[in-house]
Amino acid sequence: MRLSKQKIKEAVARLVPEEIAEFAVSMPDKIQLFNETKYMTVMFTDVQDFRTICESLSIEKLLSLLSLYLTEMSRILIKHKGTVLQYSGESIVAVFGAPTPTDQHSRDACLAAVRMKEIEAKLHQTLLQEGITEVPLRTRIGINTDQIVAGLLGTQFRMQYDVMGNGVNLAAQLESINRHYGTFVLITDETYQHTNSLFVVRKLDRIRAAGVPKVLRLYELIGEDGNMGRVQEKGIISTFHLGLEHF
């Protein structure tokens, strides 16, 4: 029995993102290697101290934790037009604006990051109730917007949709750089300038990142504008910025 394109797409979509499954089904004969440069936003995530958390869990509890965590985080990413490219343990790589172009990919990525941080408290309660772990999961996120090479990369034996370039490497570095500033979501100036000031941010250092020739301004993504708690009021952030200027 010959499967319909819809059935094929549904099967493939369990292994790769739906957007890529649609692309694969649309190819007339066979998928060929290709790549193109696109302006898009890349996100890297990781969970703080996840190795320590793993050491206290059985294999069954670890798999349950990963399934719950990755499902909830992926649900948010997909809702905000992100394409999940890769899982590596608890880490996630996602892109916004590819393979389907969108006009607001920087904003979508930042909104997804805000929602991901918001869901952590709910996740923690679920993990407690199910007796999986008492340690809260705290996600570090790095986001960068740039001209990035994207496409089906690999060999005649195996291919995958992927992204590459300095812009991708920078997003990965930002996720790790969070450790040095005690932050959890870092974005570049390029990303911030394309969010239409819809978010409250805290201006941080100007840095030189590996593989990037120009000096970069970093921002901590705090939350949506107009939806701030008492601890994160704009006045406090403005005072911090004034201190940074004097420094």
Domain CATH number, residue 75: 3.30.70.1230
The pLDDT of 131-140, averaged and rounded, is: 92
The pLDDT of 42-58, averaged and rounded, is: 93
Distance between CA 107 and CA 59 in Å, rounded? 37
User: Which has more confidence, 111 or 228?
Assistant: 111
pLDDT reading at 28 higher than 90: no
Please check whether residue 40 lies inside any domain of the structure: yes
CA angle 188, 71, 113 (to 5 degrees): 20
Q: Which helix (H) or strand (E) holds 88?
A: strand 82-88
Please check whether residue 237 lies inside any domain of the structure: yes
Given a contact cutoff of 8 angstroms between Cβ atoms, the answer to whether 226 and 212 are in contact is no
Identify the pLDDT of residue 99: 87
Distance between CA 216 and CA 160 in Å, rounded? 31
pLDDT reading at 226 higher than 80: no
pLDDT reading at 215 higher than 90: no
pLDDT digits (tens, 9 = 90+) for 60-112: 999 999 999 999 999 999 999 999 999 999 999 999 999 888 989 999 999 99
Identify the pLDDT of residue 244: 72
Look at the chain and report how many structural domains it folds into.
1
pLDDT reading at 153 higher than 90: no
Q: Is the peptide bond before 213 cis (omega within 30 degrees of 0)?
A: no
- Domain of 184? 32-246
Please check whether residue 229 lies inside any domain of the structure: yes
Distance between CA 142 and CA 205 in Å, rounded? 15
- Helix H segments across 56-152? 59-79, 105-129
- The per-residue pLDDT of the chain, averaged, comes to 85
Please check whether residue 49 lies inside any domain of the structure: yes
| Of the listed ranges 31-40, 143-152, 159-168, 231-240, the one predicted with least confidence | 231-240
Which tokens sit at 171?
């997003």
Please check whether residue 92 lies inside any domain of the structure: yes
pLDDT reading at 161 higher than 80: yes
Please check whether residue 3 lies inside any domain of the structure: no
The pLDDT of 152-175, averaged and rounded, is: 87
Please check whether residue 185 lies inside any domain of the structure: yes
Given a contact cutoff of 8 angstroms between Cβ atoms, the answer to whether 163 and 183 are in contact is no
Please check whether residue 24 lies inside any domain of the structure: no
